[in-house]
């Protein structure tokens, strides 16, 4: 028991250092005195960091990659709560997961959700994702991808939830110096979208050291494909920018032709090369990332791509092959900010997590075609 004098001295010390302080004996610290809330969160995070993961918060779980991952999580009997503001997602895509409509700019909502549900981990998909929009309106991207992300991790730390899988992007690399690109390559994003993803990766690194938050950032290459039989795919009314949905629109006659953005790149046929990875392979990478966090703390980064690149013309050829339709095309100017070649070196995730892409380009295009026709 402490006497009244000691207690009053402690109160005074707390008034001067509200985040806690050390009691130093003969030059070395012997006790840390913490506010009770911080002590509780620390105990909770210690307990959580060694606990098997069962209950997961999925932000953006009604969106394209999020909804496929939610389905896989549910198939594997994880308990899932989706938080999504439905700005681009579809409520029906969350299946039988619990759904909360809301935004992580709402800090009170986040605190409430973390208090009411006791999560073992978080998957953070929710983000603004359009490169050209990010150049025109960077404020929106800093707000949702950085400020929103900080709100989320702060709520996690407060609640003692210390494991996070984050949807990062190959856009963090910018114009690659070497191809295929490994995780150790320098990151020089060429647009605010990539910049905000890199910024949040860095926040996670610092939060790991200071607050014990462990994370896996998955740098996606070109997510594509769908699961039409489960009613899952990209948002057909919104996705008017990506290559495969656009080529399929031309195949369906919804648009008169596909414009190829530049054929003067330093590639075999002069058009841009990308690494297209099936959304179900991406979903599988998320589950493996969760498993990693059950045994390993710290900050981890993995590329998720197949290691095989296809040019724009090869994609158009494959779409003609799968759909059996002629696709009118014209060669246009380069699109600003497009690197000529973006192909993943994904050996690290294959080696460390045992991930292996199961779907090839044909199944990516076939599933997208079935989805787009529906
Ligand atoms: N692209 C194109 N015509 C289009 C849409 C895209 O030639 O109508 C090209 C684009 O320049 C890029 C590739 O297709 O080289 C993939 O673009 P997408 O927008 O699908 O993904 P990104 O690589 O930009 O994330």
Question: Annotated active-site positions, please?
Answer: 193
Residue 53 covered by a domain: yes
Give me the residues of the chain with pLDDT under 70, please: 41, 44-51, 239
For residue 136, give its domain range: 4-223+277-306
CA–CA separation, 65 and 57 (whole Å): 15
Residue 157 covered by a domain: yes
Residue 323 covered by a domain: no
- Pocket probe for ligand 1: among 176, 246, 274, 317, the residue whose CB has the most ligand atoms within 8 Å is 274
Residue 261 covered by a domain: no
CATH number of the domain enclosing 153: 3.40.50.720
Residue 254 covered by a domain: no
Buried/exposed code over 230-243 (b: 16+ C-beta within 10 A; e: otherwise):
eebbbbeeebeeeb
Residue 266 covered by a domain: no
Task: Quote the ligand 1 centre to 252 CA distance (angstroms).
Answer: 19
Residue 289 covered by a domain: yes
Ligand 1 proximal residues by C-beta, below 6 Å = 222, 241-243, 246, 258-261, 272, 274, 312, 335, 338
3-state SS, the chain, equals: CCCHHHHHHHHHHHHHCCCCEEEEECCEEEEEECCHHHHHHHHHHHHHHCCCCCEEEEECCCCHHHHHHHHHHHHCCCEEEEEECCCCCCHHHHCCCEEEECCCCCHHHHHHHHHHCCCCEEEECCCCCCHHHHHHCHHHHHHHHHHHHHHHHHHHHHHCCCEEEEEEEHHHCECCCCCCECCCCCCECCCHHHHHHHHHHHHHHHHHHHHCCEEEEEEECEEECCEHHHCECCCCCCCCCCHHHHHHHHHCCCCCCEEEECCCCCCCCCCCEECEEEHHHHHHHHHHHHHHHHHCCCEEEEEECCCCCEEHHHHHHHHHHHHCCCCCEEEECCCCCCCCEECECCHHHHHHHCCCCCCCHHHHHHHHHHHHHC
Question: In total, how many domains does the chain have?
Answer: 1
Task: Quote the ligand 1 centre to 284 CA distance (angstroms).
Answer: 24
- Per the CB < 8 A criterion, the answer to whether 114 and 156 are in contact is yes
Residue 237 covered by a domain: no
| pLDDT digit string, tens, across residues 170-224 | 999 998 889 999 999 999 998 999 999 999 999 999 999 999 999 999 999 999 9
């Amino acid at each position: 028991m402490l006497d009244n004098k000691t207690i009053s001295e402690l109160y005074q010390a707390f008034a001067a250092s509200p985040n806690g302080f050390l009691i130093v004996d003969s030059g070395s610290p012997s006790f840390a005195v913490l506010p009770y809330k911080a002590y509780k969160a620390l105990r909770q995070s210690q307990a959580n960091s060694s606990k098997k993961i069962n209950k997961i918060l999925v932000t953006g779980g009604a969106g394209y990659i999020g909804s496929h991952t939610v389905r896989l999580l549910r198939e594997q009997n994880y308990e899932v709560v989706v938080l999504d503001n439905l700005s681009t997602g579809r409520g029906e895509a969350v299946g039988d997961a619990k759904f909360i409509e809301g935004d992580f700019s709402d800090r009170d909502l986040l605190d409430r959700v973390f208090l009411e549900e006791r999560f073992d981990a978080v998957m953070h998909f929710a983000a603004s994702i359009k490169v050209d929009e990010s150049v025109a309106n960077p404020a929106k991207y800093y707000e949702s991808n950085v400020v929103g992300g900080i709100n989320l991790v702060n709520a996690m730390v407060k609640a003692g939830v210390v494991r996070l899988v984050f949807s990062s992007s190959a856009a963090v690399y910018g114009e690659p110096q070497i191809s295929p690109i490994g995780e150790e390559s320098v990151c020089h994003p060429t647009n605010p979208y990539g910049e905000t993803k890199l910024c949040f990766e860095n926040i996670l690194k610092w939060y790991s050291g200071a607050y014990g938050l462990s994370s896996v950032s998955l740098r996606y290459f070109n997510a594509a494909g769908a699961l039409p039989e489960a009613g899952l795919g990209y948002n057909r009314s919104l996705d008017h920018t990506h290559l495969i949905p656009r080529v399929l629109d031309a195949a369906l006659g919804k648009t008169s032709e596909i414009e190829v953005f530049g054929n003067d790149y330093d590639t075999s046929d002069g058009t841009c090369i990308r690494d297209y990875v099936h959304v179900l392979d991406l979903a599988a990478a998320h589950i493996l990332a969760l498993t990693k966090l059950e045994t390993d703390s710290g900050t981890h980064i993995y590329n998720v791509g197949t290691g095989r690149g296809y040019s724009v013309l090869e994609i158009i050829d494959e779409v003609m092959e799968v759909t059996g339709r002629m696709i009118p095309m014209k060669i246009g100017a380069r699109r600003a900010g497009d690197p000529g070649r973006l192909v993943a070196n994904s050996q690290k995730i294959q080696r460390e997590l045992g991930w292996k892409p199961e779907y090839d380009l044909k199944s990516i295009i076939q599933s997208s075609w079935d989805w787009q026709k529906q």
